[in-house]
């Protein structure tokens, strides 16, 4: 738990260049210079990932967090060590919103690699829920990146429920079951329809590709493109990610399309390429 904040370990990581601090343009500030760091980055860590449908591929994992949170959690850890405040220990594992980028192939040298900026979705990514299409999008992103030979998935950990968190997301699911759509449910709680910020994805791309701020973006969401462009990333191509539609999420997907998501006409129809195969009948299962 303390490996990233214990001073002796931090010194080791800095010497090995496994810990870096960068500014808002992704420029390395580890050697100092007086400018305030924006992101702290750990890695790379080789990570073999199982692919949907079989097989595996090795990605390089970097974890990154805003430097202000990195410093604050360090202060909490110091209080735990100095004052033996064991009641503060849970904060060390829950406070920081650590996001990730997993790269494959020659990501730094590629001309315009595939990039998926993916918002955390525990219900679909982990539980396999079909109330949304997030899990299938994540798996398909890994598959397409491996098929192409180079690319990255940027996993934004603080984006659960379009930024409202898992508890509030559970409430919105209940409200959706009472008749509200996914956006109406957010606003019924006095929360924004979408409070996500993708600017940190641009910073990490600058940090790992300082000479080539170009990407081909796997997304249906125009907000991701806007935030990357605003952060200085050239989006040379937008590639739709039309997977995971089902009878369980057609209303949800229709609401997203009404808010500007680029979902092709007919994609929500039963039997469309984005929909899963029909469930087998009892006879077929036997």
Question: Looking at 194, 200, 209, 227, which residue is catalytic?
Answer: 194
Active site residue 196: yes
pTM of the model: 0.86
Q: What is the pLDDT of residue 286?
A: 34
Sign of CA dihedral 80, 85, 86, 92: negative
**Contact present, 59 and 44 (Cβ < 8 Å):** no
Q: How far is it, in rounded angstroms, from Cα 186 to Cα 188?
A: 5
Q: What is the pLDDT of residue 88?
A: 65
Q: What is the pLDDT of residue 1?
A: 52
Which residue, 57, 159, 158, is CA-closest to 103? 57
Please write the tens of the pLDDT for every residue from 97-127: 789 999 999 999 999 999 999 999 999 999 9
Q: Which domains does the chain have, with CATH numbers?
A: 42-63+99-277 (3.40.50.10990)
Active site residue 25: no
**Contact present, 122 and 166 (Cβ < 8 Å):** yes
Sign of CA dihedral 222, 228, 231, 234: negative
Average pLDDT, rounded, for the chain: 86
Please write the tens of the pLDDT for every residue from 252-282: 988 998 888 998 777 776 655 444 444 433 4
Question: Looking at 116, 130, 196, 209, which residue is catalytic?
Answer: 196
Determine whether 15 is exposed, middle or buried from the number of CB atoms within 10 Å of its CB (0-12, 13-18, 19+): exposed
Determine whether 236 is exposed, middle or buried from the number of CB atoms within 10 Å of its CB (0-12, 13-18, 19+): exposed
Q: How far is it, in rounded angstroms, from Cα 44 to Cα 208?
A: 11
- Residue burial 124-154, b: 16+ Cβ < 10 Å; e: rest: bbeeebbbbbbbbbbbbbbbebbeeebbbbb
Low-confidence ranges of the chain (pLDDT < 70): 1-4, 31-34, 70, 84, 86, 88-96, 269-286
Q: What is the pLDDT of residue 272?
A: 55
């Amino acid at each position: 738990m303390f490996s990233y904040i214990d001073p002796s370990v931090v010194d080791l990581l800095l010497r090995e260049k496994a810990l870096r601090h960068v500014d808002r343009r992704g420029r390395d500030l580890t050697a100092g210079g007086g400018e305030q760091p924006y992101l702290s980055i750990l890695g790379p860590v080789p990570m073999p990932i199982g692919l949907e449908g079989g097989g595996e591929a090795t990605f390089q994992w970097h974890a990154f967090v805003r430097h202000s949170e990195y410093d604050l959690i360090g202060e909490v850890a110091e209080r735990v060590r100095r004052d033996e405040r064991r009641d503060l220990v849970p904060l060390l594992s829950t406070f920081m919103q650590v996001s990730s980028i997993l790269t494959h192939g020659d990501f730094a040298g590629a001309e315009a690699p595939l990039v998926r900026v993916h918002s955390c979705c525990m219900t679909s990514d982990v539980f396999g829920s079909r109330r949304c299409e997030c899990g299938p999008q994540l798996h398909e992103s890994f598959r397409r990146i491996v098929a192409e030979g180079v690319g990255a998935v940027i996993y934004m950990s603080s984006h659960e429920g379009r930024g409202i968190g898992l508890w509030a997301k559970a409430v919105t699911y209940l409200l959706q079951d009472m008749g509200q759509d996914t956006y109406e449910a957010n606003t019924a709680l006095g929360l924004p329809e979408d409070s996500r910020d993708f600017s940190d994805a641009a910073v990490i791309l600058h940090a790992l590709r300082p000479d080539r701020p170009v990407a081909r973006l796997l997304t249906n969401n125009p907000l991701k493109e806007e935030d990357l462009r605003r952060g200085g990333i050239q989006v040379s191509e937008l590639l739709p990610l039309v997977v995971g539609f089902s009878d369980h999420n057609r209303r949800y997907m229709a609401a997203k399309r009404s808010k500007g998501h680029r979902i092709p006409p007919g994609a929500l129809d039963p039997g469309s390429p984005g929909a899963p195969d029909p469930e087998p009948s009892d006879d077929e299962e036997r």
